[in-house]
């Protein structure tokens, strides 16, 4: 998620779809969150990925909670975690 820092939030929206929620703070910053559920019928987990933007909607910070390991990997990590078969 660190690769999104410095990008406009609309770039995330274009790639991930509309956020599950957003909140405008009194200082002009905004928080955008995407929520997804994962697991089984017996154990359901919630993954929340959030970005904080400045007044110009440029991503400054991010945070995630409850996400599976594969969802938090970078593109480089994914290729190492799931090697290509020849």
DSSP annotation of 85 reads: P
Range of the domain at 50: 7-66
pLDDT digits (tens, 9 = 90+) for 15-41: 999 999 999 999 999 999 999 888 777
Q: Count up the domains in the chain and report the number.
A: 1
Confidence of residue 52 (pLDDT cuts 50, 70, 90): very high
Residue 82 lies inside a defined structural domain of this protein? no
Helix ranges (H only) for the chain are: 9-16, 75-81
Q: Is residue 2 part of a domain?
A: no
Q: What is the CATH number of the domain that holds 39?
A: 3.30.1450.10
Query: Where does the pLDDT of residue 80 fall: very low under 50, low under 70, confident under 90, or very high at 90 and above?
Result: low
Q: Which residues contact 67 (CB under 8 A, 6 or more apart)?
A: 47, 48, 49
Instruction: Output the pLDDT for position 38.
Output: 80
Q: Is residue 29 part of a domain?
A: yes
28 domain residue, yes or no = yes
For residue 76, being part of any structural domain is answered with no
Please check whether residue 72 lies inside any domain of the structure.
Answer: no
Q: Is the pLDDT of residue 45 over 80?
A: yes
Query: Which sign, positive or negative, has the C-alpha torsion 7, 28, 36, 48?
Result: positive
Residue 73 is predicted with a pLDDT of 47
Instruction: Give the pLDDT confidence score for residue 85 in this predicted structure.
Output: 53
């Amino acid at each position: 998620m660190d690769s999104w820092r410095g990008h406009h939030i609309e770039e995330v929206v274009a790639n991930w779809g509309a956020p599950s929620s957003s909140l405008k703070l009194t200082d002009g910053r905004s928080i955008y969150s995407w929520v997804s559920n994962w697991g089984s019928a017996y154990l359901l987990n919630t993954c929340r990925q959030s970005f904080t933007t400045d007044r110009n909607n440029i991503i400054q910070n991010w945070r995630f909670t409850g996400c599976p390991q594969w969802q938090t990997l970078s593109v480089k990590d994914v290729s190492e975690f799931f090697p290509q078969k020849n």
